[in-house]
Chain A
Amino acid sequence: MTRFLVKRIGMMIVTLFLIALLTFVLMHAVPGGPFTSDKQVSKAVMDALNEKYKLNDPLWKQFLDYMRGLVRFDLGPSFKYQGKTVNDFISNGLPYSAKLGAITLVFVLCASIPMGIISALRNGKWQDMLVMALATVGVTIPSFVIATGLIYFFSFKLGWTPVYGVDKWQGYILPVIAMGGYSVSFLARLMRSSLLDVMGQDYIRTARAKGISETRVILKHALRNALIPVITVLGPTVANLLTGSFVIEKIFAIPGMGGYFVNSVTQRDYTTIMGMTVFYAAFLIAMVFIVDLFYCLIDPRIKYD
């Protein structure tokens, strides 16, 4: 276990380093500096700006500086907003994004797993057809289409939910559905096929032959094994929710990190793009790691080596 932990944490650090390096290289491969814009800036101002943000240093030194900052969780200043740092953006946006993301994740789990179970247990019946039809729709329709459609019908036509903002709890309903739609569908399909697979196994027949009640067979023997593939994809699911949040936060005007990220991308605020990418990547890697750890709780057969 300790060896596994050390190895995994080592891998995480290497990956993070590579991500930071890749991001750094990409951002510096951009033709023109970060201050190149339509506005003509005099050479003196340009030099002063370059001096201030240490852009005249050799690249390796800039990278070392950046890494030194990263280790101390300092992602540097924003190039476009005077006096703001990337950390400011993250600390402003993170509470909103985290809350929305957490609610969505809970929604995804609470909706998809029961949907998958019902669908598998009623295989071929109308419940199964309904769930699978919903899941197909959810997987194929892009989140921004779902989001705008929901706004149009529930906010404009019916007036049940606010159009934007999350001041009231009703404001969370539409963003959560739009953001989680894909993941709910995907996980429900996965849950269904995995449970169907498990239900055909010999040990389920054995359990039934022992005379255990069907509920117990499903909950105790089938579900626990069927959940493993679902847990495997939880990491990518979180990644999906996260990238989904860019659009959702933009559409619903939620002041989260996704909005800052999209803004920085369209305004080419290089340090912010860089910092946020590294932050997102670190977060995702940590999530995948946690998911891996969860394995041992649910399946004692999985050994860490």
Chain B
Amino acid sequence: MQAASKWERVASGIGEADRLYSKPRSFAGDVWFRFRHKPTALLGLIIIAVLILFAVVGPFITPYGYDDQNTKFANIPAVLQVYPAPDGHWLYITKALKVVEVDEQGNLVQQLRKGKDDAANKVTVYPYGDGLTVTLDYSQTPAAIQDAEGNRISETKRLWNKTYLLGTDHLGRDILSRLMYGTRISLMVAFIAALVNMVIGIFYGGIAGYLGGRTDSIMMRIVDIISTIPLTLYVILIKVCLDDGLLSIIIALSSVYWVDMARVVRGQVLSLKNQEFVMAAQTIGSSTRTILTRHLIPNAMGPILVTVTMLIPSAIFMEAFMSFIGIGIAPPLASLGTMCNDATDALRTNPYQLFLPAIVICLIMFAFNFVGDGLRDALDPKLKK
């Protein structure tokens, strides 16, 4: 009786000690857990989400189309250095010595019409409003506006360009809108190309790996030969043979980059196909197709996903590369590469026209590389050193 008070019988079975305090996690949950604990990967994912939003929703918000041009407001940057005008407005002098009237908020009003041009003294007089004039003095660089006594006005101010938030290009097209459309095209090309490559690669590699034997060696020999060919050259070559357009770029990119994917899938299938679950499926008489599509490929999805995320930046790079050497998207459509290409001629005077699309390209590349790295580490933590 003494013992009963000191020692208490505990009910057997699942007690407090055996309870799981955390919810059981699926494999996908596990991957997500590891993925979101890597700051660079999460940052990459956020950048991608923002860019997709920018590319998909942006064009509906912006008042300009990608080909709306206004040559009167060409080459105007995002931040304007302005001189005071007689009536409280401001004047901006472009690099091509045009005078643009800007209101107090920074909205562009108009390009002033030239009045008298005194080439000897290097001044131009512009009529301004009711009988007023504005004089542009371009005898020294930078050019400046003169006041009524003919002295250069040194007082200037910086205004944000409210009409074109990121400025305009050499044809007076809104850079922000073109960036939106350009990002949209670049991402679309990359996603579709990656998807097509994925499908081709999965089936090619899956069939080669599962069937094995002579089929495998012939198929892989073909892959070997294709991979000795410099792919960039062939993308260019295929692009030359097709007409200008979005579709031909996608075809060109889709026709060569599946080789890596095929190798990855084949390797996975080779290592999986002798495991028990495949044997079990064979025993109950599943067809080759079912085994491949239902058992092998879903199990190889991890490495496939990593390869796809790595394919996307290379597709974006290739698209930009081709557009940059002048065989990409046909104008007036914008892609990030064509925007860079258009801006190289004016690099000295208007560097922002190059740097803006270049920054977007870099952001995309960074984001996808980070996500790909994060995904690889998350899917296979053993790989991480």
Contact = CB atoms under 8 A, between A and B. Distances in A.
Nearest to A289: B228
Interface in B308-324: 313, 317, 320-321, 324
Interface stretch (A42-50, A98-106, A214-222, A240-248): A240-248
Contacts of A288: 228
A166 interface: no
A142 B326 contact: no
A196 B361 CA distance: 32
Contact of B317 (A142, A262, A273): A142
Interface in B97-122: none
Given A243-B232, A262-B325, A266-B326, A23 B237 contact: yes
30 contacts: A15-B225, A15-B229, A23-B237, A26-B237, A27-B241, A29-B241, A31-B243, A136-B366, A141-B365, A142-B320, A142-B321, A142-B361, A142-B362, A144-B321, A145-B358, A148-B340, A148-B358, A152-B347, A152-B354, A156-B351, A193-B385, A247-B324, A247-B325, A251-B344, A265-B326, A265-B327, A273-B240, A280-B230, A281-B229, A285-B228
A246 B358 CA distance: 18
B230 A243 contact: yes
Contact of A145 (B225, B240, B362): B362
Chain A, interface SS category: helix
Interface in B211-238: 225, 228-230, 232-234, 236-238
A18 B225 contact: yes
B382 interface: no
A280 B340 contact: no
Contacts of A246: 325
A2 interface: no
Interface string B114-136: 00000000000000000000000
Contacts of A30: 240-241
Contacts of A280: 230, 233
B146 interface: no
B369 interface: yes
A244 to B, nearest CB: 9
Nearest to A182: B317
Query: How big is the A interface, by class?
Result: 35 or more
B241 A156 contact: no
Contact of B361 (A26, A145, A242): A145
Nearest to B225: A15
A268 interface: yes
Contacts of B317: 142
Nearest to B221: A11
A247 B365 CA distance: 18
A145 B320 CA distance: 10
Contacts of A196: 385
